[in-house]
Structures are given as C-alpha cells and as structure tokens.
Structure 1
C-alpha cells in the first residue's frame, strides 16, 4: 500500500525579500555610522540591567559562546566545501571568545584552591 504525503496548507505569507531586508539594514547601519550619537535600534529590544555584576555577565557570555560553538559545529557537520569551512571558522572564533571570557572570569573571580585539588604523590 502506497502512502501519500499529506497536503500542506497553502500560506499567503510572502517570505522576506533578502534584497529589501538588506536595503533596510543598510539604511539603519549607514545612519549609525554617519552619526555615532544616533541610537542603536537593537538596544531598544534587549537590555541588560545596569547593576548586574561582572562575574555574572562573564558567565552568561561564556555560556552563550559555548552554545554558539555547539550550534556552529552541528551546522558544519551538515555542510560541505567552502560553506563547511566558513562554519568551522565561525566555530573557531566562538571557541577563542569563550577562552578569553573564561580567562577574564578567572581574573575577576579566581577559582578557590582546595587541598583535594593538589596532585597526589606516589612513592
């Protein structure tokens, strides 16, 4: 018995036109570059509370970069050729950023030394 795929509902929504999207983005970026005092439109959507401590900011940054590392690695596994190389380059930048943030976090809040963490000597 043959199975037929279900009929997908027709959608009336048009996909975003990349050319129009690019033009809109270019206008916004150009305005920002011409006048550095012009408000950054992205800052109206997301905001970080001003009283968040530095270790928390660094921890969240590190986790975000680790997620970016994972996602780009997963993407690279599904790609071939120059697209794979591009995804792996982005992944490498995420790893470098993660290492830098981890070092900054260690500088701000050094890990505690515990007696158990010292190497054991065997005779």
Structure 2
C-alpha cells in the first residue's frame, strides 16, 4: 500500500528552532556546571593560628607528654564516672569512648618511656 501524498517536507525553521533550543540548554547546563563544579580559588596566605590558647613554643617534649597523659587520665575517669550514670546503648557508647581515651593514655605513657628509658627503670 502506498500513500497518495508524500510526507510533508521538513522545514528549516523547525530544525533551526530545535537546534537553537538545544544550544541554549547546553549553554545553561555548562554555566551551571561551571558555577557549581568549577575550580575553587585557594588562597595562598599563610595560616595564622589563634593565640587565645597557646602552648609556649619552647616547652619540651617530655613536659607536653606528661601534661597530655594527665589530661587523658582525667578524661578517662570522667568518662567512666559518667558511664556509671547511663543505661543501655548510651552506657556502651560512653564506655567505648572511655576505652579510646585509656588507650591514648597508654600510648602517651609508652612515648614517655621511650623518651626517657632510664628514668622509667628507677
């Protein structure tokens, strides 16, 4: 079976408007991607630390480790005491935090031992 009339020819205006619309969409997508995913500008200015809480720069390593060890021991006791007041999952979470603090305290103690092995034997 043949059609009596042929298909109407495609007009230039339909193709042109579709191509123009597609070009506009692509440009808009490119602008959006460029805006949101474009390279970020990183400043090369040196970082200036806050001096509100500052450790004296000439403090020796042993003093810093001793202070860290004492702070961790205090935090371990506080976490343990707080865990005693809790029940269920919150207690388990607090005990896990207390254990992490205790392990950190052990690591600092080992660093102190390594720093001054003769002092630890006495």
TM over 0.5: yes
Report what 2:70 is aligned to. Answer: 63
Mapped to 2, the partners of 1:35 and 1:97 lie a distance apart of 35
Q: Scaled by the length of structure 2, what TM-score is found?
A: 0.58
Matched, 1:78 2:85: yes
Question: 3-state DSSP class of the match of 2:86?
Answer: coil
For structure 2, the 5+ residue unaligned runs are 1-41
Report what 1:52 is aligned to. Answer: 59
Mapped to 2, the partners of 1:99 and 1:68 lie a distance apart of 13
Deviation sequence 1:11-70 (CA, Å, 0-9, x none)? xxxxxxxxxxxxxxxxxxxxxxx8796556xx4421000000000000000000000000
For structure 1, the 5+ residue unaligned runs are 1-33, 115-123
The answer to which structure has the higher helix fraction is: 2
Aligned residue pair count: 79
Bigger radius of gyration? 2
Which among 103, 109, 113 is matched to residue 106 of structure 1?
113
Question: 3-state DSSP class of the match of 2:58?
Answer: coil
Please tell me the root mean square deviation across aligned C-alpha atoms, in Å: 2.2
Q: CA deviation at 1:109?
A: 1.3
